[in-house]
């Protein structure tokens, strides 16, 4: 089983899917494909974990205040991204479709295990800031895809998320 060290998230129009090109070790990459349906089922779990974590350890009782704090945390996370060269999908040793994602919630991080056919599996561990960054990027890519965004939480759909770059790499 491989762990993604850094990855690039990009919508590929020809496939009508999100491609994660991930580096598992220096010079080794895997490409996994996420469908709209899978993302639609995954995002609520990721957002719920972040909302439960709160911002700076605080979870306000007022939903409006909680949304505003999550929105500010998202903006701060996106602004802290530094441009890096993308993981090149052409260097991937495997290229496969994700069938399911196992989500394991820890105290300080969320672990995603992407599973495909024939025991294909790759894992990704994200702490709150990295998860916010990825959700902002994923939201922007779903917008590029012109996929419905109505089910995304309001703190991710506001003008803050709209400024996310088209292609980003997170490591």
Strand order through the sheet with 17-25 = 92-97, 28-34, 17-25, 6-12, 168-170
So what's the pLDDT on residue 57? 64
Cα separation, 140 vs 106, whole angstroms: 26
Cα separation, 129 vs 124, whole angstroms: 14
Helix or strand or coil: residue 61?
coil
Cα separation, 57 vs 37, whole angstroms: 32
How many separate domains does the chain show? 1
Asked if the model's pLDDT at residue 165 lies above 50, the reply is no
Mean pLDDT of 78-107: 91
So what's the pLDDT on residue 167? 45
If pLDDT is split at 50, 70 and 90, which confidence band does 117 have?
Answer: very high
Cα separation, 112 vs 46, whole angstroms: 10
Mean pLDDT of 67-89: 82
Q: Taking Cα atoms as reference points, which of 45, 21, 43, 41 lies closest to residue 31?
A: 21
Structure confidence by residue, pLDDT tens digits, 1-11 = 789 999 999 99
Phi first, then psi, for residue 34 (nearest 5°) are: -115, 130
Containing domain of residue 57, as a range?
Answer: 2-170
Q: What is the pTM of this model?
A: 0.84
Asked if the model's pLDDT at residue 41 lies above 80, the reply is yes
Rounded to a whole number of angstroms, the distance between the first and last alpha carbons of the chain is 18
Helix or strand or coil: residue 103?
strand
So what's the pLDDT on residue 66? 67
């Amino acid at each position: 089983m491989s762990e993604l060290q850094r990855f690039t998230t990009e919508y590929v129009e020809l496939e009508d899917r999100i491609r994660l090109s991930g580096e598992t070790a220096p010079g080794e990459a895997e490409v996994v494909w996420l469908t709209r349906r899978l993302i639609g089922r995954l995002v609520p779990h990721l957002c719920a974990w972040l909302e439960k974590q709160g911002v700076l350890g605080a979870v306000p009782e007022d939903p409006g205040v909680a949304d505003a704090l999550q929105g500010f945390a998202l903006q701060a996370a996106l602004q802290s991204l530094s441009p890096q060269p993308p993981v090149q999908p052409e260097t991937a040793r495997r290229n496969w479709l994700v069938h399911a994602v196992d989500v394991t919630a820890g105290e300080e991080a969320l672990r995603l295990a992407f599973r495909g056919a024939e025991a294909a599996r790759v894992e990704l561990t994200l702490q709150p800031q990295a998860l916010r960054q990825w959700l902002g990027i994923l939201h922007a890519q779903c917008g590029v895809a012109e996929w419905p965004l109505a089910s995304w939480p309001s703190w991710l759909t506001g003008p803050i998320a709209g400024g996310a770059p088209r292609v980003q790499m997170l490591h």
